[in-house]
Structure 1
């Protein structure tokens, strides 16, 4: 139990639902409701005085709805936001995607009956989500965030170059490459790597956006991703990414061969691996039931098939999934990257990978996509230095 309770601000336009939520949250010694609001504007006005650790909001409210409240909060008073709404049931993939895009960390469907007894049944799950969110680091998100728009001119002019600032990341210095000529397909023969694998958990949807939106339409290798996500939510995330990315985004299907120009996601209820021929297969891997889809299982299968021609990236997330998988890629000679602590929502998974010695590079989130472009298009340094956590 925490030394001090988690301060929660509730925004909900139904007085009945508001009373039920107050009662079940106040029944936990770990949570304290410090403010209630009947619409988004009231909630926004209460933040400076109540100083909530977590904000729980409905979506449909008068004066200011939950989506706009989320956008305003992330621009002015960044806090972890949990959307509690009838509009985030598993079938409502578009609304779920819009909530995550606005800056919400997670969503929690209201019981469909609305009965107090049914809220009591989900009490433990709701309080657990709030506890998790209280430990999440969030970042200010300007109301007009240029990162969320795809790069419409993916290939800079011939004289342009991609640079990683030497002052921040000495391990990635001198990795500056002129990319103007790479638009010629024959020049892709220079590519050493054949696949890019990325894994994430808590905070992953936002992290994936900042990487995948920056990949150009002629990115020369397939991208295979695994994201821990609640059942029913993956389709909305994939649809959102597909609408914004210059590459096609889809859920990997059994029997497919990974192809350049496509970003594949593991399904949400099964593990994704490659068979001995390099085709996608689904599995239920008993050794990895705690995390589904398992990032480690995906990374290990990619390491087995692609060896030193694969790149692995482990992003923000709670726990240790992906750490051993990234080490497998490292051990086969592939290139590995872990997101750094300062830019991670939760530094659990990257930290575990770094502790295993699995990361060649530890980079802030904004630097990962430019670095991947240099590595996908030119040969990497023969002896990359390791930026380890100290």
Structure 2
């Protein structure tokens, strides 16, 4: 269950409260009244009054934060990027975030997106839903991954006026409806999305995603082979590597499996932490905005191309987690086990971006997917929909055409 930065993934109770640190801080700020933590997990709760409280908390914590220690632990590139968040006459790199950054402008923009809430299964699913002017247009479903939100697709949305578009705010992530039951695995999220799409009137659609979103896309296709016409992915589900037999793979696919294991040993510490000790990490990141920024910005920077983000964009993506208090809840897809089929037969377009964390060869992907088109790009990384929206949209349109 999500609290402000805290999460109890397998709690048997439906009661959701703020974690102790956050509640204590509200009292210190003179806000001793009980706060509904579930409301902080929805877009509707991003009111000016709640925003003022949370930003006050953020500013107070920033005053205490060991900025020089944080910057010392970041790479030179990351530290330089964060420093540019502050005007030149400011000494502290995070001072602009605490005292100059205007979240309300971004809040208004996000609120103006075509949001709707669908009752799916036993929960509410908040989605950005934009219908095409043509009632008979194809439908596309965009699924994002960690550590971002639906904001990943802001640059892609204007490129799809010829289709119906559905962008779910995945349960546990910024702008989603609050979690009310435990066990929010990728398998369950796929079932919820399928139900929501049925409620919205879509019987056939193309699903696009990568990382966590890609895993959910594969599960959607496996669970609903008559509804998912085609897939557009930026990677195969990472869980395939856990069951793949190198002896049954092509030589370059087996070599990729070895590289993937090496990557996990050197770069995958966050996966181990988020999947085995999510509550501990949730409390730490929910208690420190600087810590939260360091945890998220490190990934956004190292997983993207050089031109992936400008400072205000980084701040907005981090603030989305801070304001909604969802960093802990976002770990659910890591902490909950996922069951994937051995192979997905849905026709698939696979986009390969050179700066992604583990771009795979075609032979590896074909061991698990029905790859009809394998498209290699010259630029872009793990957040390709944001970094290279035109290239991402072109490949997704390929998948739509493949559906016929």
Question: After TM superposition, is the score higher than 0.5?
Answer: no
Q: TM-score, normalised by structure 2?
A: 0.30
Q: Higher helix proportion, which one?
A: 2
Q: Higher strand proportion, which one?
A: 1
Greater C-alpha Rg: 1
Q: Higher relative contact order by CA 8 Å / sep ≥ 6: 1 or 2?
A: 2
